[in-house]
Structure 1
Amino acid sequence: MSDTLDLLADPIDLTTALVDVRSVSGEEAEIADLVERSLHLHAPHLEITRSGNSVLARTNLGRERRVVLAGHLDTVPINRNFPSRREGDVLHGCGTVDMKGGDAVMLAIAALSENARHDLTFVFYDCEEIEAERNGLTRIQRESEDWLRGDLAIVCEPSNGTVEAGCQGTLRIEIRTSGKRAHTARAWMGVNAIHSLGEALRRLEAYVPRQPEIDGCQYHEGLQAVKISGGVAGNVVPDEAVLTVNHRFAPDRSAEQAEQHLREVFEGFDVTVTDSAAGALPGLGAPAAQELVVAAGGTPVAKLGWTDVARFAALGMPAVNFGPGDPTLAHTQEEHVPVQQITGCFDVLKRFLLS
């Protein structure tokens, strides 16, 4: 492998080169070094710095607006899908979708950004695929928050080349019931904690999720039981049971409002929040966001999941997902991307940022 990437090459070739560098979460040093060297060589006009295995670069042109482009360098563990292979107009391999196609587009734009229409910041970060505390954006926000601020953030996660606005929030709760142990041969002497979850499950089955429209994008909430645990032996009435529920909520609700909603839904039960992350409003009314939508030439849609756009929204910025690849293929052995999506995303961002 070359010591540097040719950032002026076709973004498809750039994607291939990035995919062929192993970068499982926590092992991004090699790819971060490669990205840093390549930016110094091909984009000397950029201010470049390093934060752990994250590489940050930006223009300082004095433009009216700043657009932040972000992409993670890590992948999930390789699953017999390394190195890349090309079959016709489809590129296969770990990271082709999530999200080295997006990283390649960012690098290609960075190389051409000397006279960009907007000031640009490029954030190539580590450890996105694992716990939030190790996520490179967590460290960057803690140590160098100014590098994340701008008038619009574009997270180049896979979106099938469509602008996906904002993102939904996520909340996990545990509903805990208690009973009394007894031998199952004398079950009437005990109280079955698992049976006590029946009413909570009935409420879940009858629940009708909201589908609010925000900035012209329709979100679809969800409330699902994802785990039940309880019982100590095959001949004992269980005295404790736990039902885990995941709520995906639209960004017009805060995490606190979503929690209050679930406490109302499960009134009378012992509810404990175990995980919570706010969503991100689309913010499509912002001038920079409107320009991107026009450049993309399509209708933006709601992001029906949680992504790092929420981190940028928490800083008061509109944020969208826009990148090549089908997100349903992320983390699968069959991960692949149509190469025309890589080219298409590059062309859109080139129109928006450079023309």
Structure 2
Amino acid sequence: MTAQPAFSPALLADVVALTAAMCDIESVSGNEKALADAIEATLAAHAPHLDVVRDGDAIVARTHLGRAQRVVIAGHIDTVPVNGNLPTTRAVGPDGEQLLVGRGTVDMTGGCAVALALACRLPEPAVDVTFVWYDHEEVEAHLNGLGRLARTRPELLTADFAVLGEPSNGAVEGGCNGTLRADITTRGRRAHSARSWMGVNAIHAAAPILERLAAYEPATVTVDGLDYREGLNAVGISGGVAGNVIPDACTVTVNYRFAPSRTVADAEAHVRALVDGLDVEVTVTDFAPGARPGLDAPLAQRFMTAVGGAPAPKYGWTDVARFSELGIPAVNYGPGDPSLAHADDERVPIEQIRTVERGLTAWLSASI
């Protein structure tokens, strides 16, 4: 197989063109190798000032300038599956806005392209910088490349502050909500549907669960000055044996998005309280804690001064929570509307890519 070439100096000088070139190297989760190879080759060719470590398809590149503080700039290089939306194209929005369209433009190759350009372009930033491009973010959590690094090479992630290039409309989104999924199961007794009175219908018994979920009013919780909107919803329901059998089991799957001030134990207790008094079984199947904004850290305050604007909360879960677990304050800051992530018409305003480039350049070049 032909080695993936490095991106050219001309591409590194134009983050929009670089974003398009990176997106056009298809990198659906599990197939990140070609893009990882190109990033590694680019660093070797254009960033001799960086110490580069590769771990699978994750790449860590670090300065060693003896600065008093170190920051991480990170992003995942994988995408959800392509659906006729590569190669990238250019378009004009209804208001005349210039757009880059295609898989990965929002989630989150634009942020990764900015990081790669700055890694090559800024040999002497004001702080030591660790750049991380990692694999397998869009799939099961145990495969996540950043999580793998945190477990097996935590020394590579040591820092005082982190910026994750997740899409945030070119503005700062602090922390993130946590997430918990649980199966709520009712039990019944099978019988022939012609003699239904001899059985107990588990699907019918699930009705009170759905009624409580429909009536549920989610909270808005203020954490460190940011308002996090919660949500508790049914996201799946399963049950039934055959078309002539009264079902003996029904499971409602719920997803609770909870404010970062709550622990996972708090979240589980909240879900169990919702169905208190019902004859059900509750099994937690997946969870990830949230992350507080971390905007009170001095580096975060200087970051906000450099990039400008007012911070907002991140409602969806992101890998800032992994940095939070390591004791590293972290924020989301990247181009793209997060509501367009994974959409077939995924598209990013070109100016947002340049905005993030200018913001990070100003921050890394400032006297900190």
Measured against the shorter chain, the TM-score band is: over 0.9
Map 1:166-205 onto structure 2 (within 5 A): 166-205=175-214
How far apart are residue 149 of structure 1 and its match? 2.0
CA contact (8 A) 2:228 2:314 kept: yes
Scaled by the length of structure 2, the TM-score of the pair is 0.93
Cα distance, 1:187 vs structure 2: 2.0
The answer for the alignment partner of 1:162 in structure 2 is: 171
1:285 aligned onto 2:296: yes
Answering whether residue 287 of structure 2 is matched by residue 276 of structure 1, we say: yes
The answer for the alignment partner of 2:110 in structure 1 is 101
What fraction of aligned residue pairs are identical, expressed as a percent?
A: 54
8 Å contact from structure 2 (residues 25, 35) kept in 1: yes
Match of 2:348 in 1: 337
Deviations 1:22-57 (A, max 9, x none): 212111211111111111221111111111111110
Which of 126, 149, 170 does residue 158 from structure 2 map onto? Answer: 149
- 1:150-173: per-residue Cα shift (whole Å, max 9, x none)? 111111011110111101111111
Distance of 2:200 and 2:28 partners within structure 1: 48
Question: How far apart are 1:2 and its partner, in Å?
Answer: 8.0
Aligned length: 355
1:86 matches 2:74 = no
- The gaps in structure 2 that reach 5 residues or longer are 93-97
Structure 2 Cα separation of the partners of residues 277 and 45 of structure 1: 36
CA distance in 1, matches of 2:30, 2:135: 7
Aligned match for 1:59, one of 48, 56, 63:
63
CA–CA distance in structure 1, aligned partners of residues 124 and 225 of structure 2: 33
Pairwise CA RMSD:
1.5
TM-score (norm 1): 0.96
Gaps of 5+ in 1: none
Alpha-carbon contact 2:4-2:41 (below 8 Å) kept? no
The within-5 A match list for 1:230-269 is: 230-268=239-277, 269=280
Runs of at least 4 residues off by over 3 Å: none
C-alpha distance in 1 between matches for 2:66 and 2:218: 46
Q: What are the superposed Cα offsets for residues 309-343 of structure 1, whole Å, 9 maximum, x if unpaired?
A: 11111001111111001111111221111110000
Partner of 1:37, secondary structure, is: helix
CA distance in 2, matches of 1:11, 1:151: 27
Which one is further off, 58-67 or 6-15? 6-15
State the 1:240 CA deviation: 1.1
Shift of 1:5: 1.3
Give the deviation of 1:189 after TM superposition: 2.0
Query: Distance in 2 between the 1:93 and 1:202 partners?
Result: 40
Aligned partner of 2:336: which letter?
G
